[in-house]
Amino acid sequence: MRYFTYDLGDVTNKSVDVLNYWTPTNTNTTIPRLNGNDKNDNKRISDLYVEDGSYLRLKTLQLGYTIPQSIISKIYMSSLRVFITGQNLLTFTKYSGPDPEIGQITSSNTLSRGVDIGTYPQAQTFTAGINITF
């Protein structure tokens, strides 16, 4: 994601971090000098954009309860189960981008692999349901 953060050659949103770019009066920064005339749009290959993308994610959790047979037999059911499922509930990471499971660039260029292209993070979803057997 940081790869596109400093890119002045497009019309995407920028991070507030871009305001801390290098200038002759601001030399204590890791953000390179911005140049609107840079042929590479300020995206030169650099280890500035490399970071640890490890993460731990609670991807799916389902909680359910099966109603006892003694209760449901009175309403002519053989089984009744209620449940709630949550997806993408928690992510623990030090990665600065929106999602450590970065988007995939479909390119044979070795330098493009593993680049966070700013895809939307995975949505957090909740689902509730009932399983009934008569």
Q: How confident is the model over 79-99, as pLDDT tens digits?
A: 999 999 999 999 999 988 888
Contacts (Cβ under 8 Å, ≥6 apart) of 117? 4, 102, 103, 105
Contacts (Cβ under 8 Å, ≥6 apart) of 41? 7, 8, 9, 10
Quick one: DSSP state of residue 67? P
pLDDT of residue 105: 61
H helical segments located in the chain: 2-5, 69-72
Closest Cα partner for 92 from 63, 47, 61, 52? 52
| pLDDT tens digits, 17-46 | 778 888 899 999 877 777 666 665 566 667
User: What's the one-letter identity of residue 42?
Assistant: N
**pTM score above 0.75:** no
Hey, which of 37-51, 54-68, 69-83 has the most confident mean pLDDT? 54-68
**Helix, strand, coil % over all residues of the chain, rounded to 5:** 15, 30, 55
Closest Cα partner for 46 from 105, 107, 5? 5
